[in-house]
Amino acid sequence: MGWEALGQWGKSAARIASLTGGVANDVWSVRVDGQIAVGRLGSRTDADLAWETELLLHLAREGMTVPVPIPTTDGRFFVDGLVVMKYIEGEPPKTRGDWRRVADTLRELHRLTQGWPQRPGWRSSADLLHVETGTRINLAAMPYEGVIRCRAAWARLAGRQTCVVHGNPNNPGNVRMTADRVALIDWDESHVDVPDLDLVLPENAADLDDGAYDIAAQASAAWEAAVCWRDEYAVKRLAEVRTV
C-alpha cells in the first residue's frame, strides 16, 4: 500500500516533507489531526513493529520521553509497514555534560527493560557467537578473519545481564534535548543485548572504567561492522576491532 496507508490515520492526514532517515526507511514529517508528527515507512514485519511500538508505549508509561506511536482511527499502531509517531522537539547533545545526561537516560532504559523479550528475528551479540544470521546481519558475507575478531570482541561480554538497547545512541541526531528532559528517537535498531553496547558515548560520558570501556568499544565496533557490512563505514569499523 505504501504511503496510501497514511489515510488510515484520518482523511486529512498528509505528508509534509522528507526527513533524514536510515537506509531501511522512508521518513517524512506528516500532519495528523492538525498536529505535526513523523511517519516512517519500511519493510519490517508486523511482529517486528508490534515489538517496537509496545516497547515505546511501555517506556512512555514509565515516564521516558520517546516518539510515542499514534494510533490509526481504528486503533492500530502500524499499517503495511507504516508507523506514525509523536514529533519531539529539542537539540542534539553538544557538551560532555549533555552526553552524561544521555548516559543517565540510557541507564533508565536499561533498568526498565530487564527481561524484555528479543525483537523478532534479531540476534544479540551473544547469539552471534554461535549463529551467522539475524535481521540485517550475515556473518557469512564478512571476511572469515574479521568474523573471528568480531566474535572474540562479543565473547568478552558473554554471560552478562541483558535488556533493551537503543542501538545507535552515540549518533547526536538520535537525541533530542531540552533543559528538563532527554529524548531518544529512531528506535529502528533497538533490540535486546548487553547494555554496555549503548554506553560507548563521546568522551566516555558514561564514565566506564578503562577496561569496561575498551570491552564495550570493541564489541560496539564489531556490531556496527556486522550490521552495516559492507559499506565504507562498516569496513572502517571492522578495522578497529583488534585480534584478542
Q: What is the pLDDT of residues 68-108, one digit of tens each?
A: 999 999 999 999 999 999 999 999 999 999 999 999 999 99
Residues 113 and 27 placed together within one structural domain of the fold: no
Same-domain status, 184 and 122: yes
Structural domain span for residue 41 = 2-86
Say if residue 59 is in the same domain as residue 149: no
Q: Are 131 and 200 within one domain?
A: yes
Question: How many distinct helices (H) and strands (E) make up the chain?
Answer: 5, 10
Per-residue pLDDT reduced to its tens digit, 144-198: 999 999 999 999 999 999 999 999 999 999 999 999 999 999 999 999 999 999 9
CA distances from 220 to 72, 86, 112, 166, 189 (A): 36, 29, 22, 12, 13
How many structural domains comprise the chain? 2
Q: Kindly report whether the global pTM for this prediction surpasses the value 0.75.
A: yes
Burial of 84 (0-12, 13-18, 19+ CB in 10 A): buried
Q: Are residues 159 and 57 in the same domain?
A: no
213 & 100 share domain: yes
Do 222 and 140 share a structural domain? yes
Q: Which residue among 86, 112, 140 closes a domain?
A: 86
Asked if residue 13 has pLDDT above 70, the reply is yes
**In which element (H, E) is residue 61 found?**
helix 46-61
Q: Are residues 56 and 128 in the same domain?
A: no
Tell whether 91 is covered by a domain: no
